[in-house]
């Protein structure tokens, strides 16, 4: 008999609908397990235990809530468990999965995030199937690491690496992965790995405790244990909430972003890009990203540019202007993985005390396969 710890945080999968309102008040989370046990498809070789450190709609989650959740898991003796399932709202699901991939990259068991598109009592909900898929993945695959499990609109229960899942799409309620490359699928209670050169093999994830294997597999990589040594004292774990995220659009005025040079200002900025790795590159004026980057550099604010496949490849002239202005390219990583990594890095090293160390962690240190390889 395998034992799985189910950690409730609220969200749609742990909510109930009353009239035209959906909320997490009451016992919606535990209703999920009741529905699973009464579904007729519950496994008899897996027992479930529960923990509920949070109960909120995921759009309301803050860095303090992330720390509460991480602390609750760290303080739990995980030795009796074959895996952990974290139920979470879909709105900020991808950000939490990415962050916890970093914080728990040293885990010896699978930690699996799952969600639902509607409350469990709604016939349209995939929440129960997602929970079943997460349980089956843990029971069958036995792969350590952080993952996400969610059913797509073709009734395929997909498995994502925690650092390789993008935000849920507004009109389809679908999660996507970079290159549309999921890690695998769960069907008939079995996990099937998606054998692709960008996907680390299950054997590699099982061997992560061996730093030599890690270095051979991913190149110049600091082992997960070094990050966790830095953060082993829970009181030292800080997430920098002064990281700013900007998404480009025609007419974006950078002169709207003002802060006193010696006052409260961003620790770092993550600037999104159009699909071709571009943003407005006028030399001067209120719409100029190069001018904005130069202003930020004068105020010791790092500006990261993401996503882009390969900044060393042939780029548009506008992209070269961003480089010349001092923009910092983040290659082959998703926005969600980059943003949470920046919050972790600048929180760990301090936004002003050791910016170079924070920058090195973001760009050079691979924690849990967040950086996709460019070639086989």
> What does DSSP say about strands 184-187 and 157-161: parallel, antiparallel, or unpaired?
antiparallel
Does the global pTM surpass 0.75?
yes
Q: Say how many C-beta atoms besides its own lie within 10 A of residue 3's C-beta.
A: 12
pLDDT band at 107 (very low <50, low <70, confident <90, very high): confident
Q: Say how many C-beta atoms besides its own lie within 10 A of residue 99's C-beta.
A: 26
pLDDT of res. 31: 81
DSSP 130-191: HHHHHHHHHHHH---EEEEEEE-TTS-EEEEETTS-PPPPTTT-----GGG--SEEEETTEE
Would you state the structure tokens that stand for residue 107, as one six-digit string? 């885990």
Q: What is residue 333's three-state secondary structure?
A: coil
C-alpha 277/C-alpha 372 separation (Å) is 17
Give 1's contacts (C-beta < 8 A, 6+ positions apart).
45, 46, 47
Q: Say how many C-beta atoms besides its own lie within 10 A of residue 70's C-beta.
A: 20
User: Tens digit of pLDDT for each residue in 183-207?
Assistant: 999 999 999 999 999 999 999 999 8
Q: Say how many C-beta atoms besides its own lie within 10 A of residue 334's C-beta.
A: 24
pLDDT of res. 121: 79
Long-range contacts of 197-203 (CB under 8 A, 24+ apart): 197/373, 197/376, 198/372, 198/373, 199/161, 200/161, 200/369, 202/141, 202/143
Would you state the structure tokens that stand for residue 166, as one six-digit string? 């993008």
Residue with tokens 């086989």: 376
pLDDT band at 16 (very low <50, low <70, confident <90, very high): low
Residues in the chain: 376
pLDDT band at 25 (very low <50, low <70, confident <90, very high): low
Q: What is residue 1's three-state secondary structure?
A: coil
Mean pLDDT computed over every residue of the chain = 88
Contact between residue 185 and residue 207 where contact means Cβ atoms under 8 Å apart: no
- Could you tell me the sign of the dihedral formed by the alpha carbons of 224, 83, 49, 173, in that order? positive
Would you state the structure tokens that stand for residue 150, as one six-digit string? 């969610």
Contact between residue 188 and residue 125 where contact means Cβ atoms under 8 Å apart: no
C-alpha 175/C-alpha 169 separation (Å) is 6
- Whether residue 209 is predicted with pLDDT greater than 60 in this model: the reply is no
Question: Once rounded to an integer, what is the mean pLDDT over residues 156-182?
Answer: 95
Active site residue 12: yes
Query: What DSSP state is assigned to residue 360?
Result: H
- Whether residue 215 is predicted with pLDDT greater than 90 in this model: the reply is no
User: Of the listed 9, 12, 96, 340, which one is catalytic?
Assistant: 12
Cross-sheet strand order for the sheet of 302-308: 243-246, 268-271, 302-308, 328-331
Distances (CA, A) of 104 to 24, 43, 146, 225: 26, 27, 7, 10
pLDDT of res. 225: 45
Domain annotation for the chain: domains and CATH numbers: 2-206 (3.40.50.1170), 238-364 (3.40.50.40)
User: Tens digit of pLDDT for each residue in 89-98?
Assistant: 999 999 999 9
- Whether residue 42 is predicted with pLDDT greater than 60 in this model: the reply is yes
Distances (CA, A) of 374 to 113, 234, 349, 371: 27, 35, 29, 9
pLDDT of res. 27: 55
Q: What is residue 6's three-state secondary structure?
A: strand
Q: What is residue 81's three-state secondary structure?
A: coil
How many DSSP H helices and E strands does the chain contain?
A: 11, 14
C-alpha 91/C-alpha 58 separation (Å) is 6
């Amino acid at each position: 008999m395998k034992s799985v710890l189910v950690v409730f945080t609220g969200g749609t999968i742990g909510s109930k609908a009353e009239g035209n309102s959906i909320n997490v008040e009451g016992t919606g989370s535990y209703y999920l397990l009741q529905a699973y046990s009464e579904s007729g498809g519950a496994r008899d070789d897996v027992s479930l235990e529960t923990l509920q450190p949070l109960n909120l709609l995921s759009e309301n989650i803050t860095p303090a809530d992330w720390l509460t959740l991480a602390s609750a898991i760290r303080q739990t003796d995980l030795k009796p468990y074959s895996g952990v399932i974290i139920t979470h709202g879909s709105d900020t699901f991808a950000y939490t999965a990415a962050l916890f991939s970093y914080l728990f990259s040293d885990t010896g068991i699978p930690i699996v995030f799952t969600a639902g598109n509607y409350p469990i009592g709604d016939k349209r909900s995939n929440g129960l199937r997602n929970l079943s898929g997460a349980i089956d993945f843990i029971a069958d695959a036995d792969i350590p690491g952080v993952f996400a499990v969610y059913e797509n609109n073709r009734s395929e229960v997909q498995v994502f690496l925690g650092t390789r899942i993008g935000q849920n799409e507004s009109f389809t309620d679908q999660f996507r992965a970079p290159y549309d490359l999921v890690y695998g699928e769960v069907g008939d209670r079995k996990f099937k790995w998606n054998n692709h050169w960008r996907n680390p093999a299950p054997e590699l994830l099982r061997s992560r405790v061996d730093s030599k294997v890690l270095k051979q597999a991913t190149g110049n990589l600091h082992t997960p244990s070094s990050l966790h040594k830095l953060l082993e004292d829970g009181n030292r774990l800080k997430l920098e909430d002064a990281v700013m995220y900007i998404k480009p659009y025609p007419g974006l005025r950078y002169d709207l972003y003002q802060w006193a040079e010696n006052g409260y200002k961003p620790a770092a900025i993550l600037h999104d890009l159009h699909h071709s790795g571009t943003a407005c590159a006028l030399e001067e004026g209120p719409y100029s990203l190069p001018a904005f980057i130069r202003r930020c550099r004068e105020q010791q604010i790092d500006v990261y540019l993401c996503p882009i496949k390969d900044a060393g490849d042939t780029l548009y002239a506008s992209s070269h202007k961003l480089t010349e202005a001092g923009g910092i390219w983040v290659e082959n990583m998703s926005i969600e993985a980059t943003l949470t990594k920046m919050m972790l890095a600048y929180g760990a090293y301090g936004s002003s005390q050791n910016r170079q160390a924070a920058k090195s962690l973001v760009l050079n240190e691979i924690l849990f396969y967040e950086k996709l390889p460019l070639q086989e």
